[in-house]
A = this chain, B = another copy of it.
Amino acid sequence: MNESGRPQDLPLSNPRADRVRDVAKLAGRPARLKRGQFLAEGPQAVREALKLHQQRLAAGAPGVVTEVFASESCLDRFPEFEELAEGTNARLATDEVLAAMADTVNPQGIVAVCRFVDVALADVLDAGPRLIAVLCQVRDPGNAGTVLRAADSAGADAVIFTASSVDIYNPKAVRSTAGSLFHLPVVLAADPAELAAACKARGIGVLAADGYGQLDLDVLQDENARRRLTGAGPGSDYDLAAPTAWFFGNEAQGLSEAELELADHRVAVPVYGAAESLNLGTAATVCLYASARSQRRPAPLAQDHNG
C-alpha cells in the first residue's frame, strides 16, 4: 500500500491461489469461528467497514478490516476507497479473483476481510442505551440483516441476538444489513432471561412484540402524544419514551412462551386489514419507529403552541 492508498503491486490474478481460497472459506461458519473473521462484500459494506476501522484506529482501538481486495475499475469508480483504505492491507485483484473470494456472484469489485465486531452485553448496557432490538431465535439471514438495518434506521443503540439465532456473519446476513452491521453495537448469543433481568435492573423496559399482546402499539403511541401535548403524567400503560428493549421472535413461531414471560408487557402491532399477521421485518420496523418517535420528540407540539 502506498501513501495514496492505491495498491501498486500487480493484481492478484490466480483464483485458485491459497490466499484466495482462504478468503472464500469465510463463507462457511467453521472458518469464520476459527479465525474470528468474516467477509464484507461490495462497495457499501466495505465502505462502512473501513469507516468504522478508521474511527477505531483514531480512538486508539484495534481496527476492524484486516484485508481489502479491490479491482482497478472499482477504485476508479469509487476514488474515496483510496483514502479510506489507507493503512490497511489492501491488494488489487482481478474480477475473477474477486468472484472466487465472494459469496455473491457479483461482488462489485471489492471485498474486505473483517474481524468480528460483536461486543459484550455489559458494554452495551453500561453505555445507557435507550432503544435495543433483541432478536430471539431468528433463523433467516435475510430477516436478521433486514431487522438490523431497520434498527439502525430507527437509531437503536444496539441489536442483540439470543443463542440459537442465525449467524449474523453469514454472507447473506451481512449483505442484508447494507452496512448497518458496522454502525451500531451487536451482541451475539445472549441468554434471554439474563438479558431481561439485566435490562430491568437498569430501568430498561422489556416489551415483547406479540400479535396476541394485550397492549396495542397505536394506543401506546397515542398515550405518548397526549403526555407530550398536555403534560399529563404517565398513564396506566407503558410510556414509549422510556428506555426500551424490544424482543422480537422467530419468523415462523414468534416468541416462545418462556420468552414472552420475560417481558414487562406484550404489545401487538395492530393489523387493520385482513392479513393474518405481520412478518418479522414489518413488525420490528413499526415497533422500533414507534419507540424512536416517542423518545426523540420530547415536546414538538408545545413549540407549535408558541408559534
- B-contacting residues of A (Cβ < 8 Å)? 44, 146, 149-156, 178-180, 183-184, 218-219, 221-222, 225-226, 229-230, 269, 271-279, 281-282, 285-286, 289, 292-293, 296-297, 300-301, 304
Question: Using Cβ atoms and an 8 Å threshold, which residues of chain B touch A282?
Answer: 146, 149-150, 153, 281, 285
Task: Evaluate contact between B293 and A218: CB separation under 8 angstroms.
Answer: yes
Task: Evaluate contact between B184 and A273: CB separation under 8 angstroms.
Answer: yes
Q: Top 5 nearest A-B pairs by Cβ distance?
A: A155-B272, A183-B274, A155-B273, A225-B225, A152-B275
Question: Shortest beta-carbon distance, A53 to chain B, in Å?
Answer: 15
Known contacts A178-B275, A222-B225; 12 further A-B pairs (Cβ under 8 A): A146-B281, A150-B278, A150-B282, A152-B275, A178-B276, A178-B279, A179-B275, A183-B275, A222-B297, A226-B304, A229-B229, A281-B285
Report if A275-B229 is in contact (Cβ < 8 Å); known contacts: A222-B301, A286-B285, A300-B222: no
Question: Shortest beta-carbon distance, A32 to chain B, in Å?
Answer: 24
Task: Evaluate contact between B225 and A293: CB separation under 8 angstroms.
Answer: no
User: Please, how many angstroms separate the alpha-carbon atoms of A22 and B197 in the complex?
Assistant: 57
Question: Using Cβ atoms and an 8 Å threshold, which residues of chain B touch A269?
Answer: 153, 289
Question: Using Cβ atoms and an 8 Å threshold, which residues of chain B touch A300?
Answer: 219, 222
User: Please, how many angstroms separate the alpha-carbon atoms of A272 and B276 in the complex?
Assistant: 30
Task: Evaluate contact between A152 and B273: CB separation under 8 angstroms.
Answer: yes
Task: Evaluate contact between A152 and B301: CB separation under 8 angstroms.
Answer: no
Task: Evaluate contact between B222 and A274: CB separation under 8 angstroms.
Answer: no
User: Please, how many angstroms separate the alpha-carbon atoms of A222 and B91 in the complex?
Assistant: 51
Residue in B closest to A146 when the chains form the complex, CB atoms: B279
Residue in B closest to A179 when the chains form the complex, CB atoms: B276
Report if A44-B153 is in contact (Cβ < 8 Å); known contacts: A222-B301, A282-B281: no
Residue in B closest to A176 when the chains form the complex, CB atoms: B279
Task: Evaluate contact between A153 and B275: CB separation under 8 angstroms.
Answer: yes
User: Please, how many angstroms separate the alpha-carbon atoms of A155 and B218 in the complex?
Assistant: 14
Task: Evaluate contact between A273 and B146: CB separation under 8 angstroms.
Answer: no
Question: Shortest beta-carbon distance, A248 to chain B, in Å?
Answer: 14
Question: Using Cβ atoms and an 8 Å threshold, which residues of chain B touch A278?
Answer: 149-150, 153
Task: Evaluate contact between A154 and B272: CB separation under 8 angstroms.
Answer: yes
User: Please, how many angstroms separate the alpha-carbon atoms of A273 and B153 in the complex?
Assistant: 5
From B153, B272, B304, A272 is in contact (CB under 8 Å) with B153
Question: Shortest beta-carbon distance, A139 to chain B, in Å?
Answer: 16
Report if A301-B226 is in contact (Cβ < 8 Å); known contacts: A149-B275, A153-B271: yes
Question: Using Cβ atoms and an 8 Å threshold, which residues of chain B touch A221?
Answer: 293
Task: Evaluate contact between B274 and A184: CB separation under 8 angstroms.
Answer: yes
Residue of A44, A149, A184, A274 most packed against chain B (CB within 10 A)? A274
Question: Shortest beta-carbon distance, A292 to chain B, in Å?
Answer: 5
